[in-house]
Amino acid sequence: MTTIKDVAKLANVSTATVSRVLNSNGYVNSATKERVKQAIEQLNYLPNDVARSLFKGRSKMIALFVPDIMNPYFPELARAVEDVTNRYEYTFVLCNTDDDIEKELTYLSALQQKSVDGFIIVSSTISEEHISKINAPIVALDRILSSKLSSVTVNNREGARQAVQFLKSIGCKRIAHICGPEHAGNTKTRLQGYLDEVQDEDWFISSYILPGEFNFEIAKQSTMKLLKDHPEIDGIFAGNDLMGAGALSAAANLGISVPADLSVIGFDGIALGETTTPSLTTMAQPIYDIGSKAAEMLVQQIDDNQISIRSEEFKVVLTERQSTISRR
Amino acid sequence: MTTIKDVAKLANVSTATVSRVLNSNGYVNSATKERVKQAIEQLNYLPNDVARSLFKGRSKMIALFVPDIMNPYFPELARAVEDVTNRYEYTFVLCNTDDDIEKELTYLSALQQKSVDGFIIVSSTISEEHISKINAPIVALDRILSSKLSSVTVNNREGARQAVQFLKSIGCKRIAHICGPEHAGNTKTRLQGYLDEVQDEDWFISSYILPGEFNFEIAKQSTMKLLKDHPEIDGIFAGNDLMGAGALSAAANLGISVPADLSVIGFDGIALGETTTPSLTTMAQPIYDIGSKAAEMLVQQIDDNQISIRSEEFKVVLTERQSTISRR
DNA sequence: TTGAAAGCGCTAACAT
DNA sequence: ATGTTAGCGCTTTCAA
């Protein structure tokens, strides 16, 4: 490894001068600057970021915590965060937490020890108490972790309502809901939106609500059971697209035709929804925008070095595809 | 931030002693060790990893380069690498390169500056020349970058052959192939396997080979065109599952029934293949095993600190699902 | 068994 | 405009 000393020696200046041209601050004669640059070039010198970090107490790294990288929602999100952090010359660290508090805490302290500059966190388990121990900026994503944190979310409840309204508008008379896992914050909000729309309907019974996981196979199995027990169901609002795809697959397996006999709508708007047959109607989140906004907010907080809490709520938008059709 | 000095002061010892208990090396009286531990506990002290890295020249970080994090193959792979690296207490850094050599080189030097301990790289563009400038261990994944590097791959050509053989065995008489992008190393190998099986058939014509991208929509469009131009086709071997899903969707759009009139087989074995209707038969890679093996090899190379080049080739296995059925 | 001190590579006062 | 130096927090000789 060649160091700043080597450069200094070759250019016949002090390390301070080299540092000055490296960071383009302080005065430095243009002739010597040239010499230094030459030396840097010649030695193929790259500054040691670790030494820099040690001095500055900051590492130019940003971490993103996601509960499940295998759920396509999160790679899309990660992609957005990566793009923004790169633009600001941060190194991007992606952490997969399984929504497991132990893993989250392990990551949190490991990264703090590395002087990571900030966190973007999607979590249902991290509490205010844990957060108070972190002294780097945090932006909560997808779910609000604390009123003391900036956050970027979507209108889950309203979006869920719109999904059900849409099913009604195309003529569905018996609408079921597949929930996400109980521990996820989203699950309750989306369920609430569903209930807003159906609980006063005379046809509504609680067995139209399916407990679930954000998982294709489990959703498929429970939908099969649902459709067997309740053949009258003609509309399904799935808590996310992965489960929506599961519902589609369940219907196909039972020989129920979608959308002719059953309409299905999901939530999230991941690319997977376009690959199913029929393709999946969904309440689409502006996933990329959400991720970039969170990253932008975090970078700003890091730079400003002041606590300005901001909350952004994006709106989901109905994206009609083949899994729903008017039956009127 | 509390430092080793604070601990030393509180425990009434030197920083050297604290360091010794921290790293459990060197002699230290069990009584003082106890005192130090108490102090650490009391101050909630966590060692500064940056300072450690500076001293050691190593950072306990491992990076994985993937060309496209939105292709579900890579999250599955990343998941495996993450699990292994975590087990060895490395921090895992995921880099999305878009198969763009500029981005790759930027990442490479940024991470070298951070003293990253090793790289696992999936790339079609990085050359021997670039590699020679890196002085951290590298494991090539999915594609072989250099004979000087350890690598983990699958039997692409043989696997492709098996895919086509399988289509033949169930009675397909006209088999087309959707290729991946030209720049990807895999593309050629899988195409070669296809050719091994079909080029001597009297029905074979070169327009049965479709250029493509590892992308759902593009595969869908070009398959639609193919099936319109060549209605005689009764089997498709897609270069990967994403494109296989595209072919499925194309057939559905044209009212061609799969598997009754057309059989489709993919390559990779990603979870997506189970979510399509019909689900996708595929030559499945042991994705998780591949990722873990690569990570294990890298960790070992880092620890051993010696250049032992090893190559592992995994075998793909035929996974029959609904998109193929015997027509005999 | 423990401590003093040098040094990892860099930056920023402070001096000149 | 440039150099000297202290110090970021840690580990490791070397000496005691």
- Cα–Cα distance, B1 to A57 (Å, whole number): 10
Domain residue spans of chain B: 4-56, 61-154+287-315, 156-285
Mapped to the 3 state alphabet, what secondary structure does chain B carry?
A: CCCHHHHHHHHCCCHHHHHHHHCCCCCCCHHHHHHHHHHHHHHCCCCCHHHHHHHHCCCCEEEEEECCCCCCHHHHHHHHHHHHHHHCCCEEEEEECCCCHHHHHHHHHHHHHCCCCEEEECCCCCCHHHHHCCCCCEEEECCCCCCCCEEEEECHHHHHHHHHHHHHHCCCCCEEEECCCCCCHHHHHHHHHHHHHHCCCCCCCHHHEECCCCCHHHHHHHHHHHHHHCCCCCEEEECCHHHHHHHHHHHHHCCCCCCCCCEEEEEECCCHHHHCCCCCEEEECCHHHHHHHHHHHHHHHHHHCCCCCCEEEECCEEECCCCCCCCC
> Is strand C in 7 Å reach of the CB of B29?
yes
Q: Flag residues of chain B having pLDDT under 70.
A: 327-328
Consecutive 10-residue averages of pLDDT for chain A (328 residues): 95 96 93 95 96 97 96 96 96 95 96 97 93 93 88 97 98 97 93 98 96 95 97 97 98 96 98 96 98 97 84 97 84
Among B275, B287, B288, B323, pick the best mutation site for testing chain A contact (most A Cβ within 10 A): B275
Cβ A78 vs Cβ A66: under 8 Å: yes
User: Are A189 and A154 a contacting pair, CB within 8 Å?
Assistant: no
What CATH number does the domain located at A4-56 have? Answer: 1.10.260.40
Identify the pLDDT of residue A185. 86
C-alpha–C-alpha distance, residues B198 and B236, integer Å: 12
As a CATH number, domain A156-285 is 3.40.50.2300
Cβ contact, residue pair B94, A91, below 8 Å: no
Q: Is any atom of nucleic acid chain D found less than 7 Å from the CB of residue A50?
A: no
A80 vs A76: CA distance, rounded Å: 7
For chain B, percent of residues with pLDDT exceeding 90: 92
The predicted pLDDT at position A164 comes to: 98
Size of interface A-B (CB pairs under 8 A): 131
**Pairing status of strand A91-96 against strand A61-66:** parallel
Nearest nucleotide to A4 by CA–C1' distance?
C9
CB atoms within 10 A of CB A199: 10
Residue A179 near residue A213, CB atoms below 8 Å: no
CA B242 to centroid of chain Cα atoms: 15
Instruction: Please name the residue that has the structure tokens 């965060």.
Output: A81
Residue B321: name the closest of B257, B265, B252 by CA.
B265
Nearest CA in chain A to B252: A277
| Domain A61-154+287-315 is found in CATH 3.40.50.720 | no
Grouping H, G, I as helix, E, B as strand and the rest as coil, residue A76 is: helix
Burial, B186: exposed, middle or buried (Cβ in 10 Å; 0-12, 13-18, 19+)? buried
Q: Which residues from chain A sit within 8 angstroms of residue B224, using beta carbons? A: none
Quick check: do B61-154+287-315 and B156-285 share a fold? yes
* Token duo for residue A152: 């970027």
Query: Model confidence over B242-296: pLDDT tens digits?
Result: 999 999 999 999 999 999 999 999 999 999 999 999 999 999 999 999 999 999 9
Return the pLDDT at B255.
96
Q: How far is the CA of A83 from the C1' of D8 (A)?
A: 31
